[in-house]
């Protein structure tokens, strides 16, 4: 069946005048989207700032969580992570943008593709008195820094990477830090991310939006389930839904990955509803994280989106 599918894709490419269909490094056959035209936003921009999760009551536990986050946020040093022996091109193609299993949104490093003149978008809300610093690094080039001033409300910021960056998609590191502005120590402040995206077909606003997750609480032991849905503005052949336990620790939204579900791609202008049984989750509040990407190396557009809603998993 897979061979037939590959032949059909090859035939489509030949008919379109292309030499051969693009493929991912692991041999996965990449089906090109019906159109590369990105769908314009057909609904009002979302303004829900989300509700901070419950604060960790025990200061010792808060220290453990933030300490673990600090260790995870670095992922691996850039030079080490980009080393050829780690095959970052193949890993990003196969597994998508790399997010730590445990992180704080106020200090998050993402491993993902970058390219010269690529647009990058962030959907976020930042605490008053804060500034958002974005650093993008890739091997052989000077780091690129972008500064976003706080607006006091949820919004989308779009910027372009330097034209001097690689001409083709290359592995890179995106570091996002929310810091207190003004005089004094550069301490982290509360940041809530709703979307981060890279690539022309992933950016316009953010190509995955309207992320829904509910109801407010479920009891998995009583076979209660949560539903989740998201809207896609473009086609992605690989998608993963991830369920993160979220807490407020030292004023930061910290989360730990507890469960996931692989989705066999999404099509442009679709919003499907799926179910999560929560059986692998521990009691507490959870948010939904959706990672979507194109596995062909000559495309490599990617997006990460988070829900504004939270689901409380109860015993």
pLDDT score of 17: 42
DSSP state of 6: H
Is residue 161 over pLDDT 70?
yes
Is residue 171 over pLDDT 90?
yes
Per-residue pLDDT of 125-139, as tens digits, reads 998 889 999 999 998
Does some domain include residue 25? no
- Asked whether the beta carbons of 292 and 266 are under 8 A apart, the reply is yes
Does some domain include residue 232? yes
Which residue reads 């019906």 in tokens? Answer: 34
Is residue 124 over pLDDT 70?
yes
Mean pLDDT of 155-172: 95
Q: HEC string of 44-92?
A: CCCCCCCCCCCECCCHHHHHHHHHHHHHHHCCCCHHHHCCHHHCHHHHH
Does some domain include residue 270? yes
Structural domain boundaries enclosing 197: 51-313
Does some domain include residue 32? no
Q: What are phi and psi of 226, to 5 degrees?
A: -105, 150
CATH at 222: 2.60.40.2550
Task: Indicate the pTM of the whole model.
Answer: 0.85
The Cα angle at residue 117 between residues 164 and 113, in degrees rounded to 5 = 90
Does some domain include residue 202? yes
Is residue 34 over pLDDT 90?
no
Q: In the chain, pLDDT over 90 holds for what percent of residues?
A: 56
How, if at all, do strands 311-313 and 217-218 pair? parallel
Say how many domains are in the chain: 1
């Amino acid at each position: 069946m897979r061979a037939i599918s590959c032949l059909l894709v090859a035939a489509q490419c030949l008919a379109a005048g292309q030499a051969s269909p693009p493929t991912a490094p692991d041999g996965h056959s990449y089906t090109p989207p019906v159109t590369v035209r990105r769908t314009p936003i057909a609904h009002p921009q979302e303004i829900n700032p989300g509700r901070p999760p419950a604060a960790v009551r025990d200061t010792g536990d808060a220290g453990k969580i933030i300490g673990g986050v600090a260790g995870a946020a670095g992922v691996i040093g850039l030079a080490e992570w980009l080393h050829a022996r780690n095959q970052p091109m193949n890993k990003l193609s196969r597994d998508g943008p790399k997010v730590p299993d445990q992180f704080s949104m106020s200090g998050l490093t993402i491993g993902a593709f970058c390219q010269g003149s690529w647009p990058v978008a962030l959907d976020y809300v930042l605490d008053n008195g804060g500034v958002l610093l974005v650093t993008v690094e890739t091997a052989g080039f000077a780091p690129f820094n972008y500064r976003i001033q706080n607006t006091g409300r949820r919004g989308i910021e779009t910027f372009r990477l330097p034209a001097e960056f690689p001409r083709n998609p290359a592995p890179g590191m995106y570091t996002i830090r929310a810091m207190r502005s003004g005089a004094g120590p550069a301490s982290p402040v509360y940041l809530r991310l709703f979307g981060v995206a890279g690539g022309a077909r992933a950016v316009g606003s953010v190509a995955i939006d309207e992320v829904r997750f509910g109801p407010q609480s479920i009891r998995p032991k009583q076979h209660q389930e949560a539903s989740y849905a998201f809207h896609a503005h473009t086609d992605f052949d690989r998608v993963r839904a991830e369920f993160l336990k979220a807490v407020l620790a030292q004023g930061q939204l910290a989360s730990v990955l507890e469960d996931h579900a692989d989705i066999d791609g999404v099509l442009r202008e679709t919003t499907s509803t799926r179910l999560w049984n929560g059986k692998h989750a521990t009691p507490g509040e959870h948010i939904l994280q959706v990672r979507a990407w194109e596995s062909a190396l000559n495309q490599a557009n990617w997006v990460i989106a988070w829900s504004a809603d939270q689901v409380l998993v109860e015993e």
